[in-house]
Structure 1
Amino acid sequence: MEEQQEQVEVPSYFLCPISLQIMRDPVTLPTGITYDRDGIERWLLTAGTCPLTKQPVPPDCDPTPNHTLRRLIQSWCALHADHGVELVSTPKAPVDRARVAELVSRLGDTSSSAGLLDALRELKDVAAESDRNRKLLTAVPCAVDILAAVVVSSCQDAKAACDDALEIICSLQLSEQCLTRLVERNEELVHALVAALQRSNTTSRAHAALLLEGVTAVMSSNRLVSLPEEVFGEVVQLLRDRVSNPATRAALQVLVGTTSWGRNRVKAVDAGAVPVLIDMLLDGPADRRGCELALGALDRLCGCAEGRAAMVSHGAGVAVVGKKVLRVSEVASDRAVRVLRSVARHAATAAVVQEMAQTGVVGKLCVVAQSEQCVERTRERARETLRLHARAWRNSPCLQPHLQALYPSC
């Protein structure tokens, strides 16, 4: 079949200038150049110019369907179907701005729960269809604010509406500017997301985690330090439940991003974050980034006494962090060394000092101190940590002779 298809020469004007494939839904820009709809809409999302002429294309440009060319392509494909050419079906008419705006306006009508659900589900289908549709939805004035208002108003009673609104918002990939505006205009959004995290619907919990990640990333420091304890409790529970890789990563990002302040660190520790993070490292995160984030969160939490106490009280805490040194990535090694330095400096009882030697942590630090795999700042942190307890570690029977030779001088 492929050999037969190669023998048929496709007219050049049937090919999209972007993909060089036969156009299925040819559309023409104001510049007069015709492209396949899917290709040009993807292009315009980032470029904003005509690929061939380089002329600017207005952001609100809606390419004109080239019905004549499409019919010619369909006829030609049908004529050569015996040679393996695939038929081109008539494309579904794309949704227009007016229809998207109408659906958004219906979300504000709270008199009918059934009508609200119908509008949400149609909007969800529209958003799932293409990047173009998601761009149209984002461009509707106050559309994201209205969706967020649905999440807030329906998080307790109309859970189906809340779930659909969350899914739509998460599909839009909102900019930092849009998220900032969303946070400023919806003070109850965080509480609504906590309510969504408390439900049994794993999909909704994942969407709530993703939106919480975006929201906390743009919050002012004043609002971050006043986050309720429930946020940390639900984030930690999400890590325990391992709902999905994206949800786990979002929860880790929330922990890292919100625990720069001591008050939040204590909240996270009280929620049980430290043993959960250690258990994650023991089991092995699904990817390198997950390991880096887990170590980053531990580094943050070891910035407070409660976090360090939880770290050393876990039977495998010190050992598993030491095991990640030089085994995952440069970033992971640096974060693991930072955790070990915090423990050695502020929580090093005689038992902990001995444990660090017996579990091979001291040996790892000796290697890091001389390793070219690590940047200088990581090597210096390792040397600093080793100097803290040099009397106990330098001549320890747990340290092999070749590692003793690497021990930094005091």
Structure 2
Amino acid sequence: MEDIEVPQFFLCPISLQIMKDPVTAITGITYDRDSIEHWLLRNKNTTCPVTKQPLPLDSDLTPNHTLRRLIQSWCTQNASLGIDRIPTPKPPLTTTHVEKLLKGIKDSKIQLKSLMQLELLAAENERNKKCLLENGVPKAMIMFIYDCYRKGEILEGIEEALSFLQFVKVPNDDAKNLLSENNEMLDCLTWILDLPSEIKNSVAVKSHAVLVLKKFINNCDSVVLERLKPEFFKSVVNSLKNGVITQQGLCAALHVLLCCCPLGRNRLMMVEAGAVNELIEIELMSIPEKRITELTFGILFHLCSCANGRFQLLSHEGSIAVLTERIFKVSIAVDDRAVFILSLISKFSATKTVLEEMLKVGTISKLFVLLQADHAKYLKDKVMEIFKAHSEVWKNSPCFPQNSFYASLHR
């Protein structure tokens, strides 16, 4: 196909591929529908890619049937050269069809079929997503999931409903209203996290659920965060265990916990749920993605502000080593959190065993290098506080910097 000369006006100016569904924008330029809808609806651009003229998000896109037929004819003529024929595009999704499918969700005979069709429509293109959103389908999906929770039944279609919500997100206003109208909305999602692993597609179902939970937590007010129960944190912390959810789901679960950290009672409930141990295990299992480590260290910092959190951290044999190993290897944000956690340990939990462990795993050497690196002054000041507090214990160790440095700490 590389040797075939494709007429230039058959190509979409955005994708540079042969157009399957050519549409003309109000600026007079023709694009492939998927490409221009992605440009407008997903990327939120408001200018024409070619002319740079204003192109509102709700602009009319007029199907160019003449050009489409011309492209189809050309493809047919060149079929022997490996060119596939462009199929005739499906008619646009209508409100009437969406309303029919929404009614089907309430009919047990066609419930699963309706949910599957809505999921497929959401995955198809940006135009469908816009239509489904405008007709309130995300809220209907949430209410279907809530109905499953209320009945205590794992109904067929719950995976499709959760999957749909990854394509068409619940609008922020709907999320806020659902939370204010129903105290059990978060319980509904953690109920899914607690379902047995034997359920069909358990990892996908629970991963989708925690992503929806993240959406709700992002849009809830302090009153909702203040009334969270221990069971909520047990469910989210248990989802952190290896193999329960996907990496994307893990990132969402960590985000949920971090959002709940500002309140002291929430930190205590996380610690009681075993969060500290699970967070360290995440780092020990493998080298996680940068964002996961940043979230993990952010949560650990908050949890180490309480005595029980520090106790749990130091009860794990690999904790100091993990904190030390990640310095300089992930990001400045991780360096920051690691130093602040070590500072809390140094200030409030520095037993002889802990201080010896810091020498043994190379913490002191890393901190000394940080003093010489291009890091913020406030971070270096924290390191100096650690050294000043415990230099008497470390001064005779070959790992500790030279005598001149020790002397400078006590001027």
Q: TM-score if structure 1 supplies the norm length?
A: 0.89
CA change 1:75–1:292 in 2 (3 A) is same
Choose the corresponding residue for 2:66, options 61, 65, 68.
Answer: 68
Q: Deviations over 1:138-174 (max 9, x none)?
A: 122x432222111111132143233322221222244
CA change 1:223–1:398 in 2 (3 A) is farther
CA change 1:30–1:185 in 2 (3 A) is farther
CA change 1:381–1:174 in 2 (3 A) is farther
Q: In structure 1, give the amino acid aligned to 2:144.
A: V
* Superposed displacement of residue 52, structure 1: 4.2
Contact 1:299-1:335 at 8 Å conserved across structures: yes
* Superposed displacement of residue 135, structure 1: 2.0
* Superposed displacement of residue 232, structure 1: 1.2
Q: In structure 2, give the amino acid aligned to 1:121.
A: M
Greater shift in the superposed pair: 168-177 or 359-368: 168-177
Find the counterpart in structure 1 of residue 32 from structure 2. 36
Provide the rounded CA distance (Å) in 1 between the counterparts of 2:404 and 2:237. Answer: 40
The two structures, once aligned, show a CA RMSD in angstroms of 2.4
Alignment pair present for 1:13 and 2:4: no
Q: Secondary structure at the match of 1:18?
A: coil
Provide the rounded CA distance (Å) in 1 between the counterparts of 2:407 and 2:230. Answer: 43
Choose the corresponding residue for 2:269, options 258, 267, 270.
Answer: 267
Q: Deviations over 1:87-109 (max 9, x none)?
A: 323233342333224323544x3
Q: In structure 2, give the amino acid aligned to 1:114.
A: K
Q: TM-score if structure 2 supplies the norm length?
A: 0.89
Choose the corresponding residue for 1:172, options 168, 174, 180.
Answer: 168
CA change 1:158–1:95 in 2 (3 A) is same
Alignment pair present for 1:339 and 2:333: no
Provide the rounded CA distance (Å) in 2 between the counterparts of 1:191 and 1:22. Answer: 48
1:223-262 → structure 2 map (5 Å cutoff)? 223-242=224-243, 243-262=245-264
Contact 1:31-1:50 at 8 Å conserved across structures: yes
Q: Secondary structure at the match of 2:350?
A: coil
Percent of aligned positions with the same letter in both sequences?
A: 37
Q: In structure 1, give the amino acid aligned to 2:217.
A: T
CA change 1:217–1:139 in 2 (3 A) is same
Provide the rounded CA distance (Å) in 1 between the counterparts of 2:71 and 2:161. Answer: 40
Provide the rounded CA distance (Å) in 1 between the counterparts of 2:38 and 2:266. Answer: 41
Provide the rounded CA distance (Å) in 2 between the counterparts of 1:103 and 1:25. Answer: 25
Alignment pair present for 1:206 and 2:207: yes
Greater shift in the superposed pair: 329-338 or 72-81: 72-81
Q: Which runs of 5+ in 1 are unaligned?
A: none
Find the counterpart in structure 1 of residue 376 from structure 2. 375
Provide the rounded CA distance (Å) in 1 between the counterparts of 2:328 and 2:406. Answer: 16
Provide the rounded CA distance (Å) in 2 between the counterparts of 1:28 and 1:403. Answer: 76
1:37-116 → structure 2 map (5 Å cutoff)? 37-45=33-41, 46-54=44-52, 56-57=54-55, 59-61=57-59, 63-107=61-105, 109=106, 112-116=107-111
Find the counterpart in structure 2 of residue 390 from structure 1. 391
* Superposed displacement of residue 222, structure 1: 2.0
CA change 1:406–1:86 in 2 (3 A) is farther
Provide the rounded CA distance (Å) in 1 between the counterparts of 2:279 and 2:408. Answer: 31
Contact 1:386-1:407 at 8 Å conserved across structures: no
Provide the rounded CA distance (Å) in 2 between the counterparts of 1:52 and 1:21. Answer: 16
